Chain A
């Protein structure tokens, strides 16, 4: 996805089940299906209903399911995203008729429907109010049983609340961003090795 942004570069390797996704052994659409993504701003498809949004990934990646499988999938994904009880009577409404927090959970459900191994979340709560944020964090802890979640956040309390392992990523002026320190969340916050990490987690900058 980052290749869509002109001028974006990367270094290092990204391994899924021991295979580097940038080596080209797996088709890009497969990579994208295995790695789900939730964006900063909720972006349900406006031309689709709530239910259609959930199963849109199947259509887009060309997966075929029977009608009953599809209905089960809609219910299970929405339940996993903690949205089923709120929208079970509104499945035929347009996706954008939901509130901001519900839309974001709908996007999570949509990502889960193609059963990814990894779910990237790019500041999923930055456009949301505290109550919706709490709801999303609950969702994250519920689904983390079955999916690896990589979440980007600049809210340190959130990082502490939701993560097991934590990496501190810093971009300085005229320097590409790189990972400064990585380890169990508890260590990063209580016993950082790098002085910049220590400054950041103690709120001296950022």
Chain B
């Protein structure tokens, strides 16, 4: 005991002179990590397989992880002192937390890509399923009708929901009218509406009661019910981030409230508003349940969202994945892959248009300034 204590004091003294460099990984750290991993693996093998009455892979990983934390903590403390050990522990926990979040995401993407790329041919973007039979190959036909359906439905839904949502956010945050409080409650309640209920509502009110067909438009209406609260709430938070000093400056220059909002507040929060729209699109583009009730589903291209049934990518996936034929299942995975690609493309485009912070002068803004002779 006395020996350990003395040794630890020496360690502390030695460490005290050494500068702690944060965010750097030294070779000794790597050695300790590898050693601890092996040691804790051996320990958990012993504990889990021999002593504890437990089984199963998940429990094994948990025991290994906890033992790894303990072993590496002791190792670092013995080698480099207490402060280092705490630092090490925090670093390991934060890193593993971050990877716990990112690993499933990467796995999902890889899995869908792996399942879907076989049947992905250029014609998937050009053809529909009118000549596809039960025995056709997975590479025959395509999902163009579903892609067009999704783009049109989400497009119309955002045409409805984005102006409405941003106007509502302006009312809540800039006008601050008497109805702001109840309105905020309503928006909150709306964001809790399950998507199938939104679909049922449009089905009952728009299709059954008003006697409309199942169309792409009906689907858009259902999606905009889901879209609206997301855009409104995010846009409201974004507008709240605009410093009050800018509003005061604008009013002090003789600006009306309308011009203050349209020329100062909204341009300042432009990139945040783009984020609001992206979050809204992300909320609805993968929705299946409300579309089953409202767009009807189709195997052939229908360019007109105002009349006749349409298809959409999530619905396409949902329908085909339940077929017994391998080819249909492969096509469904391709649909899922294309949906992810579509989302990616939309987000990249939105970011490019929306720009980064308000200070950033993008290519479009530069062009506009040059045209006005201000650059």
Closest approach, in angstroms, between the C-beta of A7 and any C-beta of chain B?
Answer: 16
Q: Are the C-beta atoms of B246 and A43 separated by less than 8 Å?
A: yes
- In this assembly, does B361 line the interface, its C-beta being within 8 Å of a C-beta of chain A? yes
Closest approach, in angstroms, between the C-beta of B127 and any C-beta of chain A?
Answer: 45
Q: Are the C-beta atoms of A37 and B252 separated by less than 8 Å?
A: yes
Q: Are the C-beta atoms of B263 and A60 separated by less than 8 Å?
A: yes
Partner of A94, one of B243, B246, B270, B359: B359
Closest approach, in angstroms, between the C-beta of B279 and any C-beta of chain A?
Answer: 21
* Contacts known (A71-B373, A107-B249); A32 close to B254, Cβ less than 8 A: yes
* Contacts known (A4-B248, A56-B263); A61 close to B373, Cβ less than 8 A: no
CA A114 – CA B263 in complex, angstroms? 16
* Of listed B248, B254, B263, B357, residue having the most chain A CB within 10 A: B254
Q: For B260, what are the chain A residues with a Cβ–Cβ distance below 8 Å?
A: 60
Q: For A179, what are the chain B residues with a Cβ–Cβ distance below 8 Å?
A: none
CA A107 – CA B252 in complex, angstroms? 11
Q: For A171, what are the chain B residues with a Cβ–Cβ distance below 8 Å?
A: none
- In this assembly, does A30 line the interface, its C-beta being within 8 Å of a C-beta of chain B? yes
- In this assembly, does B375 line the interface, its C-beta being within 8 Å of a C-beta of chain A? yes
Residues 302-335 of chain B, each 1 if its beta carbon lies under 8 Å from chain A, else 0: 0000000000000000000000000000000000
CA A47 – CA B249 in complex, angstroms? 14
CA A32 – CA B260 in complex, angstroms? 13
Chain B, 236-255, CB within 8 A of any chain A CB: 243, 245-246, 248-255
Q: Are the C-beta atoms of B253 and A49 separated by less than 8 Å?
A: no
Q: For B243, what are the chain A residues with a Cβ–Cβ distance below 8 Å?
A: 43
Closest approach, in angstroms, between the C-beta of A205 and any C-beta of chain B?
Answer: 30
Residues 351-375 of chain B, each 1 if its beta carbon lies under 8 Å from chain A, else 0: 0000001111100001001001111
* Contacts known (A37-B252, A49-B375, A92-B375); A59 close to B358, Cβ less than 8 A: no
* Of listed A1, A32, A62, residue having the most chain B CB within 10 A: A32
Task: Give the bracket for the number of chain A residues in contact with chain B.
Answer: 35 or more
Closest approach, in angstroms, between the C-beta of A43 and any C-beta of chain B?
Answer: 4
Partner of B253, one of A36, A46, A91: A36
Q: Are the C-beta atoms of A49 and B254 separated by less than 8 Å?
A: no
Chain B, 251-272, CB within 8 A of any chain A CB: 251-256, 259-260, 263-264, 267-268, 270
- In this assembly, does A135 line the interface, its C-beta being within 8 Å of a C-beta of chain B? no
Q: Are the C-beta atoms of B361 and A94 separated by less than 8 Å?
A: yes
Q: Are the C-beta atoms of B252 and A36 separated by less than 8 Å?
A: yes
Total A-B pairs in contact (CB under 8 Å)? 105
Q: Are the C-beta atoms of A92 and B253 separated by less than 8 Å?
A: no
Q: Are the C-beta atoms of A39 and B245 separated by less than 8 Å?
A: yes
Q: Quick one: closest A residue to B372, CB to CB?
A: A67
Closest approach, in angstroms, between the C-beta of A39 and any C-beta of chain B?
Answer: 6
Closest approach, in angstroms, between the C-beta of A27 and any C-beta of chain B?
Answer: 9
- In this assembly, does A45 line the interface, its C-beta being within 8 Å of a C-beta of chain B? yes
Q: Are the C-beta atoms of A57 and B253 separated by less than 8 Å?
A: yes
- In this assembly, does A80 line the interface, its C-beta being within 8 Å of a C-beta of chain B? no
Q: Quick one: closest A residue to B266, CB to CB?
A: A47
Q: Quick one: closest A residue to B268, CB to CB?
A: A47
Residues 1-26 of chain A, each 1 if its beta carbon lies under 8 Å from chain B, else 0: 10010000000000000000000000
Q: Are the C-beta atoms of B264 and A60 separated by less than 8 Å?
A: yes
Q: Quick one: closest A residue to B253, CB to CB?
A: A57
CA A29 – CA B252 in complex, angstroms? 8
Q: Are the C-beta atoms of B254 and A56 separated by less than 8 Å?
A: no
Closest approach, in angstroms, between the C-beta of A103 and any C-beta of chain B?
Answer: 12
> Contacts A29-B254, A45-B267, A59-B263 given; 20 further ones with Cβ under 8 A?
A4-B248, A30-B254, A32-B255, A33-B253, A39-B249, A43-B243, A45-B268, A46-B268, A46-B357, A46-B358, A46-B359, A47-B268, A47-B270, A47-B358, A51-B375, A56-B263, A60-B259, A71-B373, A94-B358, A97-B359
> Can you list 30 pairs linking A and B with CB atoms under 8 Å apart?
A1-B251, A1-B252, A4-B248, A29-B255, A29-B256, A32-B253, A32-B255, A33-B254, A43-B246, A43-B248, A43-B249, A45-B264, A45-B268, A46-B246, A47-B268, A56-B264, A57-B253, A60-B250, A60-B253, A60-B255, A60-B259, A61-B255, A62-B256, A62-B259, A91-B375, A93-B361, A94-B358, A96-B359, A110-B253, A114-B254
Instruction: Give residues in A with beta carbon < 8 Å to B.
Output: 1, 4, 29-30, 32-33, 35-37, 39, 41, 43, 45-49, 51-52, 56-57, 59-62, 67, 71, 91-94, 96-97, 107, 110-111, 114
Instruction: Give residues in B with beta carbon < 8 Å to A.
Output: 243, 245-246, 248-256, 259-260, 263-264, 267-268, 270, 357-361, 366, 369, 372-375
